[in-house]
Amino acid sequence: MKHLLAGVAALGLLTGVAMAQGIPGSGSSTTTETSGPNGSSTTMTKQGTGWNGNAVTKQDTYKEGATGSSETNSKTETDPAIGGTTTSKTTTSNPE
C-alpha cells in the first residue's frame, strides 16, 4: 500500500505538470479511491481544453493487490472539426 501511495503522489506531481502543458485553460479534476479485500485502486481524471481548442480527458488509474500492481494511463481528445475522437491507452503491470 505504501508503494501505491508513493507512486500516486509522485505521478500526481508529474501528471499536474503534464496536464499544465497539455490542457491549458480551465478544467476539472476528480480523484476516486476504492479499497476492498482484493486490493485498492485510485483513479484521477482531468478534463480540459487542449492547445488546439479540442476537449481533452486524461485518466490515470493505479491498482495494488495481492497479485501485484498496475498503472493505466489514457488520453482522449475530441475534435469537433472532423467529428472524431482519438484515444491512447497504456497499461503497465508489476507482479508481486
The share of the chain scoring above pLDDT 90, in percent, equals 48
The 3-state secondary structure of the chain, one letter per residue = CHHHHHHHHHHHHHHHHHHHHHCCCCCEEEEEEEEECCEEEEEEEEEEECCCCCEEEEEEEEEEECCEEEEEEEEEEEECCCCEEEEEEEEEEEEC
Residue 27's pLDDT is: 78
* Residue 83 in this model has a pLDDT that exceeds 60: yes
- Would the pLDDT of 59 be above 50? yes
